[in-house]
């Protein structure tokens, strides 16, 4: 935690809320939608995984739909002024990882361009963009395989943002307006994603990050050269097996726990077991010291670990928020993940009968919300272990388990507007917060 960063975020968020609250007044809200056509705005960066889905194999969904082009909007009108929220899936990775300055990337540029055209507030939100990139031109840059339209990342971000802003204005001007009427109600609950279960074979486990996550996205941001990645995969896999054999002889309880976890985590070669606070099984110390020499982020992680700043709770949050927000005949589903294209499609299809029964005409997916816990891939995508699969924390069956839980909780939400909220995330002690505070930046 860096105090000046946290303080500036808190100040910005609270002042925005206060300003909005003081400006409350009656307005009308409309739903509008449209689609991109041939614009170079978004591309599927994980086609190998995408093509493994039965929906694609059976040609229910074509390859050309690998990057959805639908744009959904809530447009608020009051007197002669307008504001809007725009949902469209594309990663904010127009700016490469070598940039060291703060930049709002393509979505921020879209907001800036829109607000310069007298839109009072323009919010460009994500949809299910887990496998969707703005980059499509091959590049020889070491840190990634593709770039946007221009060699200059800042120009690419502005270009992509302008495409999104122009499409928003086109939709406002030309598409059908559906007025949103009715009540507004929202409920937020917490779910322990490390303990979801459909059956003995289909369940989640405590969080773990794989080698493919550590290596980064080949399209949008590599961490290491492919040769280093291959070597690291062999080393990590070998040590995981070594410690498994060791536990078989010396710690049977831990052995059976790890075997069960490996079933949930499937083909992932685990490196950071964030729920169990392990690096490559039981080899925390030497791995952290080694990686600290290679990567500055790991050096900071190692510093916190050796300062006992990560003792109390899991390294990444496992009890996570899910939020349902009903606005008239629409429902917004807020999740703390980045779902891939097909993951989002399966969630929508699974929840559709419940929504129709409760007179909800459209579901708006609102990911990256309230917290963050990596990606949601389909089990088929997960097995390929691209970057997104390596960053699906809770294992191969995260998506079906999530859908199962959403169906139950959404029925509760509509039945009595009173979801069980007894489960809450852990609270950090003052001592751990103090140890995690970085006063040097």
How many residues comprise the chain? 441
Q: How far apart are CA 341 and CA 68, in angstroms?
A: 7
Using CA atoms, how far residue 32 sits from 77, 119, 256, 269, 363, in Å, is: 13, 16, 53, 44, 13
Closest CA to 210 of 383, 402, 399, 400: 383
Task: Give the C-alpha separation, 47 to 378, whole Å.
Answer: 13
The 10s digit of each residue's pLDDT in 221-257 is 887 777 777 777 787 888 788 878 888 888 888 889 9
Mean pLDDT along residues 117-146 = 92
354 CB-near residues (< 8 Å, 6+ apart)? 407, 410, 411, 414
Going by pLDDT thresholds of 50, 70 and 90, the confidence category of residue 417 is: low
Please give the pLDDT value at position 60: 86
Tokens (6 digits) for 254: 């831990």
Query: What is the mean predicted confidence (pLDDT) over 292-299?
Result: 75
Read off the tokens for 32.
Answer: 């509008």
Identify any residues that bridge with 228 across adjacent strands, giving them in sequence order.
none
pLDDT of residue 235: 78
Rg of the chain over Cα atoms, rounded to whole angstroms, equals: 23
Q: Which two tokens stand for residue 292?
A: 């600290």
Q: At what angle do helices 341-357 and 398-416 cross, to 10 degrees?
A: 20
Q: What is the pLDDT of residue 38?
A: 86
Highest mean pLDDT among 260-274, 284-298, 338-352: 338-352
Q: What is the pLDDT of residues 334-360, one digit of tens each?
A: 999 999 999 999 999 999 999 999 999
Tell me the C-alpha distance between 278 and 273, whole Å.
Answer: 5
Closest CA to 346 of 268, 398, 419: 398
Burial class (CB in 10 A: 0-12, 13-18, 19+), 7: exposed
H/E element, 325: strand 319-327
Distance CA 392, CA 339 (A): 9
Q: What contacts 239, CB < 8 A, 6 or more positions away? A: 280, 281, 283
């Amino acid at each position: 935690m860096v105090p000046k960063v946290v303080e500036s975020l808190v100040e910005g968020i609270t002042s925005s809320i206060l300003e909005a609250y003081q400006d409350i007044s009656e307005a009308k809200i409309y739903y509008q939608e449209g689609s991109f056509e041939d614009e170079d705005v978004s591309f599927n960066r994980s086609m190998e995984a995408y093509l493994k889905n039965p929906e694609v194999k059976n040609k229910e969904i074509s390859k050309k739909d690998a990057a959805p082009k639908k744009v959904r909007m809530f447009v608020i009108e009051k007197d002669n002024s307008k504001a809007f929220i725009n949902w469209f899936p594309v990663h904010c990775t127009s700016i490469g990882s070598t940039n060291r300055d703060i930049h709002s990337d393509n979505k921020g540029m879209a907001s800036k361009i829109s607000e310069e055209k007298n839109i009072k507030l323009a919010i460009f939100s994500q949809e299910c963009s887990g496998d969707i990139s703005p980059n499509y031109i091959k590049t020889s840059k070491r840190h990634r395989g593709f770039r946007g339209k221009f060699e200059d990342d800042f120009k690419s971000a502005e270009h992509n943002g302008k495409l999104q802003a122009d499409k928003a204005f086109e939709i406002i001007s030309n598409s059908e307006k559906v007025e949103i009427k009715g009540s507004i109600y929202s409920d937020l609950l917490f779910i322990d994603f490390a303990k979801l279960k459909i059956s003995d074979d289909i369940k989640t486990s405590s969080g773990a990050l794989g080698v493919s996550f550590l290596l980064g996205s080949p399209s949008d941001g590599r961490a290491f050269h492919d040769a280093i990645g291959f070597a690291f995969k062999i080393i990590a896999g070998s040590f995981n097996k070594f410690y498994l054999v060791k536990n078989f002889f010396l710690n049977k309880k831990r052995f059976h726990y790890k075997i069960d976890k490996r079933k949930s985590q499937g083909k992932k070669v685990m490196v950071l077991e964030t729920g169990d606070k392990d690096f490559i099984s039981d080899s925390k110390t030497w791995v952290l010291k080694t990686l600290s020499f290679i990567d500055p982020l790991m050096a900071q992680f190692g510093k916190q670990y050796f300062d006992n700043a990560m003792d109390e709770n899991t390294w990444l949050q496992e009890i996570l928020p899910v939020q349902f927000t009903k606005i008239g005949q629409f429902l917004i589903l807020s999740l703390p993940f980045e779902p891939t294209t097909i993951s989002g499609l399966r969630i929508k299809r699974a929840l559709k009968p419940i929504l129709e029964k409760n007179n909800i005409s459209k579901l708006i997916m609102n990911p990256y919300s309230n917290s963050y816990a990596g990606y949601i891939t389909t089990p088929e995508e997960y097995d390929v272990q691209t970057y997104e699969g390596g960053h699906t924390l809770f294992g191969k069956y995260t998506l079906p388990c999530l859908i199962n839980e959403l169906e139950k909780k959404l029925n509760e939400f509509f039945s009595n507007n009173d979801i069980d909220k007894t489960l809450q995330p852990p609270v950090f002690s003052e001592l751990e917060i103090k140890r995690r505070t970085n006063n040097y930046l």
